[in-house]
Chain A
């Protein structure tokens, strides 16, 4: 029986590759969006504006304090009530952006805060504007602190894309879920799904370990 199911699984393997492609698409797009928003928010959060800091702090607490599934349900089921009706794919991207940018914001803010105050002072006494100080002096130095945890966060975000299967995005986990109904070999189906996830995230884990060692020097 097992051999039979295995050959069935080989037959529908292209279906899995499609799922892998969808996972890659969701992950890639949301990582770009998260990084952009996360960096902007992180820079504001490490700044001096109290009100903006408080608003971002509340947002970060919400995004980090509630499970991602609940956030997806909020985006997919509640946002329509507030007038924002989205298809599954954009809703998944939006939920990923909300969650991921909060985590990246924290990484960026703590990276910027790790730079000694003297650097700001000497940059401002060189006559640079606030934005120039940040872009030319502070950020290049804090990248050393930011990049290793950022890559680690990317791995977590890629894995979190599996949760968007709950609103019906046909990505890898969803493909496994649909397949297991027809081929009742749970171990085999989800081992295959696991291997495909492994093939994306393990290289990134190795990269993150490597960066951590290199930046520590």
Chain B
């Protein structure tokens, strides 16, 4: 099956793969940070109770959740130039990933906040705390712990989603596999190496997610 698997060619192309890995890493990191900000703002708008903030955000979340990421990427990639906005592919990709993950993160945070028991909020009210104090001292400290494992799960999804940016010719990990395939036509060597690198990232993040989940269960046992 892999009798003539050529390791030498992989070492020859290693700089290309490492460069791709670097970009995958950077794009994921930047997109995740931006998505966290987007998610927090979107969630704040959603639970604010102000109708003119709430309904646009609900529409945003539902549209993102019910269309494929690839369509969203193409929408921005082919759509922004028609509006006269010209940005490099990599920025288009980061914006798409930010908007996509932001919607999911908003829902994760909202689930975390609504997991806090209603009695806690009432206790806060009767202690004379106002809305922001209740959020700051009672709800958020309890909600944030619950959101960590699903946020890490979303980070795993985000890293895999960066692979779609190869389709708008961003030089990330999958693209370096495509480049090698088109130069040497050795798809096994190219794509199995790419898969290997993604698996490494996946196992690290998965271990982190499992660890945080275990911590959480441990804490709740008390």
Q: Tell me the B152-181 residues at the A interface (CB within 8 Å).
A: 156, 160-164, 166-167, 174, 177-178, 181
Is the CB of A70 closer than 8 A to any CB of chain B? yes
Bound form: Cα–Cα A185–B198 in Å: 35
In the bound complex, residues from chain A placing their C-beta under 8 Å from that of B83 are: 187
A61 to B203, CA, bound (A): 8
Nearest residue (CB) in B for A72 is B191
CA separation between A191 and B79, bound complex, in Å? Answer: 9
| CB <8 Å contact, B177 and A73 | yes
- Bitwise, A51-92 to B at CB < 8 A (1) or not (0) is 000000000011011111111011001100110000000000
- Given contacts A66-B198, A155-B66, A160-B68, is CB(A78)–CB(B78) below 8 Å? no
- Residues from chain A with a CB closer than 8 A to the CB of B163 are 67-70
**Is A15 an interface position by the 8 A CB rule?**
no
B25 located at the interface, meaning its Cβ lies under 8 Å from any Cβ of chain A in the complex? no
Chain B 1-14 against A: per-residue CB contact (8 Å), 1 yes, 0 no?
10000000000000
A162 touches which of B1, B68, B194, B199 (Cβ 8 Å): B68
Cβ proximity bits A171-185 to B, threshold 8 Å, 1 near / 0 not: 001001100100011
**Residues on B with beta carbons closer than 8 Å to the beta carbon of A160:** 68
Interface of B is mostly: helix
Select the residue from B67, B82, B166, B188 with max chain A CB neighbours within 10 A.
B67
- Residue of B66, B181, B206 near A198 (CB, 8 A) is B66
Contacting B202 at CB < 8 Å: which of A61, A81, A162, A190? A61
Number of interface residues of B (CB under 8 A): 43
Minimum Cβ distance to chain A for residue B24 (Å): 10
A77 touches B191 (CB 8 A): yes
The answer on a CB contact under 8 Å between A194 and B82 is no
Best-buried of A70, A184, A197 by chain B (most CB within 10 Å): A70
* Number of residues from A at the complex interface, CB < 8 A: 42
Query: Which B positions have Cβ atoms within 8 angstroms of A?
Result: 1, 62-63, 65-72, 74-75, 77-83, 156, 160-164, 166-167, 174, 177-178, 181, 187-188, 191-192, 194-195, 198-199, 202-203, 206
Supply 13 A–B pairs (Cβ within 8 Å), ascending by A: A65-B198, A65-B206, A66-B195, A81-B187, A82-B1, A155-B65, A159-B66, A163-B70, A186-B80, A189-B78, A191-B75, A197-B67, A198-B63
Given A64-B156, A159-B69, A162-B70, 10 more pairs with CB closer than 8 A: A62-B195, A66-B195, A70-B174, A155-B65, A159-B66, A173-B68, A173-B71, A176-B74, A194-B71, A194-B72
